[in-house]
Amino acid sequence: MQNTIRKKRPKNQQVWGFIGLSLVFSSVFLLYPIVYSLYLSLHRMQGLQSVFVGFGNYLRMLQDTIFQKALLNNFIFLIFQVPIMVLLGLLLAFVLNTPKLVGRSFFKLALFLPCVTSLVSYAVLFKMMFQIGGIVNQGLLNIGLITQPLDWLNNPLLAKLTVIIALCWRWTGYNMIFYLAGLQNISDDTLEAAAIDGANGFQKFFFVVIPQLKPVIVFTTITSTIGTIQLFDEVVNLTGGGPSNETLTVAQLIYNHSFVYTSNFGYSATLSWVLVIIIALLSVIQLKLAKTNQ
């Protein structure tokens, strides 16, 4: 019996050694930055100089009209872009799940391909397309929808619309893949039963498919919401936050305060923590709504 215990001890020590090593690395690279960012949010940091200001950064944020504008822009993108991505991804997945559809593999690849393209590359491509002399204006002129080229990237409303179109083009296919995976778990018997009861394609989609895909829809809605609140790359490369901060997002504002303006890392940390709190609240609200509707 004692020999058995002695044999087990070295193995247990090895296990705890590996666990301890992972805990050390997690603490250094995850916990420490989180704690230090909270420390920074209570200080005014410029270079290596630190001055404790308590909640001064948070009070400054409440009076910061540029932050309020950036946060409003985030919610505008959220309100319009996320429902489009979710609903369009559902429709595309439902259509591509049809066994008799010709070229299903090609369409799946074509719709998912934007998700794996370079952010900078596709942003530059969209910037070229939506320039005054770009292909979008030329196409609209040729079909007679407009009489003169539109300045997409320098008009406040059109710049927002351009960012929304770019986001939907890139991320709709990402959501679609999750819905396709979810559709594989839906029994054909339920669709056949609905067809026997006289349900058309529209009714089968909304009253049979969507209720069974609810967990996947909740997941993609939350991830899309988080991605939109953290929006950075598209606005930086497409519009630079302009015109007149009309497409500026909170993530870009955090970057500006860190590396473009006076390098106030304390205020940047404050904005980052507020962004984390907003994301957490929105995620909890969406989960609560999903449970309420069950």
Asked whether residue 50 is domain-assigned, the answer is no
Q: Give me the phi and psi of 52, to 5 degrees please.
A: -70, 125
Inside any domain, residue 48 = no
C-alpha span between 88 and 83 (Å, rounded): 8
Give the model confidence (pLDDT) of 117-175 as tens digits: 888 888 888 889 998 888 999 999 989 888 888 999 999 999 999 999 999 998 898 99
Cα–Cα–Cα angle for 62, 266, 64, rounded to 5 degrees: 20
Whether 281 is in a domain gets the answer yes
User: Tens of pLDDT along 179-202?
Assistant: 988 888 887 778 788 888 788 877
**Domain annotation covers residue 94:** yes
- Classify the C-alpha dihedral 19-21-26-32 as positive or negative: positive
Distances (CA, A) of 178 to 8, 162, 181, 213: 44, 25, 5, 10
How far apart are alpha carbons 128 and 142 in whole angstroms? 18
pLDDT of residue 6: 52
Q: Which two tokens stand for residue 95?
A: 């259509």
Q: What is the DSSP string of 153-203?
A: TTSHHHHHHHHHHHHHHHHHHHHHHHHHHHHTTS-HHHHHHHHHTT--HHH
Q: Give the three-state DSSP class for 272.
A: helix
CA distance 227 to 82: 10
Q: What is the DSSP letter of 134?
A: S
CB 57 within 8 A of CB 266: yes
Domain assignment present for residue 6? The answer is: no
Task: Give the residue numbers spanning the domain of 102.
Answer: 55-290
> Which residue ranges in the chain fall short of pLDDT 50?
1, 5, 8
Q: With b meaning 16 or more CB within 10 Å and e meaning fewer, what string describes 166-187? A: bbbebbbbbbbbbbbebbeeee
Tokens of 229: 């609140």
Give kind and range of the element (H or E) at residue 5. Answer: helix 2-26
For 265, the token pair is 């890392």
Measured between alpha carbons, how far is 20 from 285 in angstroms, rounded to an integer? 36
Query: Element (H or E) spanning 19, and its range?
Result: helix 2-26
Q: What is the pTM of this model?
A: 0.84
Number of folded domains that form the chain: 1
CA–CA gap between residue 250 and residue 229 (Å, rounded): 8
CA distances from 39 to 51, 54, 162, 228 (A): 11, 10, 38, 27
Domain-located, residue 35: no
Residue 207 forms part of a structural domain: yes
Residue 217, in any domain of the structure: yes
Q: What is the CATH number of the domain that holds 142?
A: 1.10.3720.10
The pLDDT value given to residue 261: 79
CB atoms within 10 A of CB 229: 21
Task: Give the three-class secondary structure for 152.
Answer: coil
CB 254 within 8 A of CB 229: no
